[in-house]
Amino acid sequence: MNLQGVTRLQKEYKQLSTSTSVQNFVAVPDSQNIFEWHYCIYGLLDSPYEGGFYHGKLIFPTEYPMKPPSILMITPSGRFQEKTRICLSISDFHPETWNPIWKVETIMTALVSFMNSDENSTGCVASTSAQKREYARASLRWNVERDGQEGFVRRFESFFAKMGINEETLQEREKKIEQSRKEEDDGNNFKNFLIMAGIAIVVSAIIAYRMSSGEGLDKEDVLEGATEL
């Protein structure tokens, strides 16, 4: 094991734990493996990600800090493919541009900035702002429901107060998700109503035309008119 890497990461964790300047993310090493870190990005105000909590991983090579880490996001975001390495100038995709003086804080700051941009790269996905907002609304519940697999609560519970997560927050997220689904259902119901109303209008027009022209009208005529829609 690279003692330089272990010492460096331990020092960085201590610095992050006491830092008052870090915003929009928390990052902690795995309790069993100092080279695997978990982060949560949050508090991205005035963006499609507002209200979202995005859990991801930094996988450091044993040669760190001489080589860069892999960067992945676990929580669906509409910006990155889940559990897929993201290509950035500070990630393992570009060791030639890596600078050993860069730290976890540098990496996370760059990731947050890239997430808020429209720049495309390997590991990115395309989605609308509306889709990103829907992912943001669902992110906290998604993370909590998969705690047994990904350990969101176990890893970040001590930061919940800082992140603005409490029982009331969880309940409010549930209400927003249910409201969003209700609005979607209402929209679909209204769309179906318009379709049926359109059919009724066309059928009525056919009947009126046939009657005014002196033509007879039977059941098959009505069914044919509706089928043509």
The residues annotated with a catalytic role in the active site are 87
Q: Taking the chain, what is the end-to-end CA distance rounded to the nearest angstrom?
A: 71
Facing residues of 82 across strands? 73
8 Å CB contact between 135 and 52: yes
Rg of the chain (C-alpha set) = 27
Q: What is the DSSP string of 62-98?
A: TTTTSSPPEEEE-S--SSB-BT-----TTSTT-GGG-
Do you find a cis peptide bond into 65, omega within 30 degrees of 0? yes
Spatial separation of the C-alpha atoms in residues 137 and 76, rounded to whole Å: 11
